[in-house]
Structure 1
């Protein structure tokens, strides 16, 4: 009875555990750690949403079992959001389901549609549930490039030709966690054409669609004519309305996929607590000034972080969406890998980041930095990183000194 359970054996060691352990130890010793590792919004949920929750909780009738697929008003509110934001019409009865955050919905849909041995196409790097939801369900995952461009499209064509069995589903996530890549509507059109031609389901994770920093809002794949024939899309209130702990998300799109998710959820849960669902209606249908405020908050943080890192000598691309920066490990430290570099940054600068390896093998060489502290703390973090780099001979203003030619083992000794 000592052998590990089958599904557990398919899960690799949790890459983030080492950094989390070091972070906890540092805090236990009284160290001030600036935690930019987890994508956990630090802003308060808007008052009108909280007010609606409190008001509904006061009614004892709301304490009973809820509805697994979401109360009717909530499904109508999500359909209304899609109509306003994307010009997409959804039938609240057949094309929308509420989920306990997008993560639960993705995992349960994977379980609903996957047979052991199925081939699933997943970008690498990607948010862990995108691949492990299917791995837990018994599928095999084939990695494709994470960039929304010709490289991904060519990889998809190769995957169809060379995978046995032929892929049954594809995951996409734009704006992306962890890379912050964004996709255009033209790219989605090519993706939908490919999937319809090859009879492949698409699962789109749109959790960060309201966190963008350019003039053009990220599109929905459901805007593409015919997309609902093969696609379902997951959204979440976690980041848009700072409601991460409320666990409120949705799936929308293809009726067959929505029905599959509805059926499996009916065996597993009774839905979110009714007052949370009612408050979610207030979020989607009420004043939307709070969404623009959250977007501006993350934009200000992004600008402070990127400017400070460049001044420290760390050339990090400025993300156009999401609440993360995807940072290549500076050259002097590149050989040590993302886990060791994350632990080093924690020890020497008091800044926690997420190692890229935790998002897939092609995330190695990067770390993910969350915009989850206020601008004052972000400036403190970049100053600490700059001080650490200077001690190692890495110059600021976007340039690296002679240490760039030294092996990492010599620099950090």
Structure 2
């Protein structure tokens, strides 16, 4: 572990500031997928429609969106029917709250929003923060529109005068104490969906369905001595999504490697990935099959291409916490500012094996980036990622990586500025090598 952390470089701070803008534009998974596509279209990528025919891809740059997921790829001019892919995988969703049916509620003169817990948020971190609503509205003609408010809601904590023991035990009732306020008045005369519809410029009476979540309204920011820290909502996993977008943009120009460079951003990782836009669904395999078919591949050639492919599954991991060192492995202790992490688990909760570790360390060395290892304390079981899912579904060689953070699943998580930039640098090297 380093005795001190060098001041963040200007390029790393610029990258962090761009990440802050990316997160602000991506308060929901649907917004994140749209922002990925928008940025790549601005960089010369062609947006494809799944319901239309796809062009022969040699020498092309393409992006396709499915709900809250997006996949983009760059095909070298010399690509053949058995050319492999290098996939950088991440996810677009984060833990939080999602609007229930009949979401306009309230009592005692307060307007409240009826919400359901999404994934595994650190509930107390959502207290006393200004929150946005964001997601998609589906209209009476089937059209889906993106909608997002500014600061609208808040989960106000009970004053200490009314609970003198609150600092000894804070346990929120997941139903009665997690319903945010958003105004004053009677629920019968208000409509929280109307607030969203107004922001989207549509008639609220036309809304027939919605997928809407909460997001922290505060913008991400660097801080700390020498600006080494970066705090933001949705770093899990927009930090990886953003790194992948930046890397693919930079690697796309003059891409002449012997593989197809691909960014795969999935939805619903926080709730198991088992959806049409999740990593356990068919989105990636659909795109790969159509891509290889357009290159003239038969089944034999597709299997050869898969055997020549890699997936880097990038998601955040735990930095050692100075206030809770006993929660971490006593020897392997990654820390913010010391580089991206290689995630390892004996029970294959992460897909990393010896071959993957060697490949990852090689890409880091080529990028001039120092990597750290992460492994869980034996008494503290770890979560999982899209990595094992992708390896299982496709049989593709997969390695799990990410950046170390603190406050994982908080409304506002903490990362190291240099780690964010270093992850993008390794991803670019991975795409180019």
TM > 0.5 fold call: no
| TM-score (norm: length of structure 2) | 0.26
More strand per residue: 1 or 2?
Answer: 2
